[in-house]
Amino acid sequence: AVRAVAGAGAAFISVLPSKEEQSQVELELRLLQALEFYPPSKLKGIHRHFILYGLMEYLRKSLDRQFSADEVLQLLDRFFNLEMLKPDDDEKDNFGQTEEFALPDNFFKKED
């Protein structure tokens, strides 16, 4: 909120943030602090849901209110290009593939 204040014969403009603006700044600061522990680069990999949950919990504890995953992602989107963090098609396919594995025969032989 901007308001004109007259003092000592001279008028000046005082820029005071509203409560809403202060809470938004506080929210953004807490999010940036949380990123120290939960790096956004890990939102791309298999840890995506754990990182997102960690961010939600950090904000909940810091600001004493619940946050949904969508709210956290919207906040992150203000600072990062989340499109770059979406899993590639190649990455999705890797989880569906199975590969036969066997230990080598010499692993089971006893040495005399």
Report pLDDT for 73. 92
Per-residue pLDDT of the chain (112 residues; tens, 9 = 90+): 545 555 555 555 556 667 787 788 999 999 999 999 998 888 888 888 999 999 999 999 999 999 999 999 999 999 888 887 776 655 555 556 788 888 888 888 776 5
Residue 76 lies in a domain: yes
Residue 95 lies in a domain: no
Residue 64 lies in a domain: yes
Report pLDDT for 16. 60
Report pLDDT for 101. 84
User: What is this structure's pTM?
Assistant: 0.61
How many domains is the chain built from? Answer: 1
Residue 25 lies in a domain: no
Residue 72 lies in a domain: yes
- Domain range spanning residue 50? 39-85
For the chain, give the longest Cα–Cα distance: 102
Residue 44 lies in a domain: yes
Report pLDDT for 76. 92
Give the three-state DSSP class for 99: coil
Residue 96 lies in a domain: no
Residue 58 lies in a domain: yes
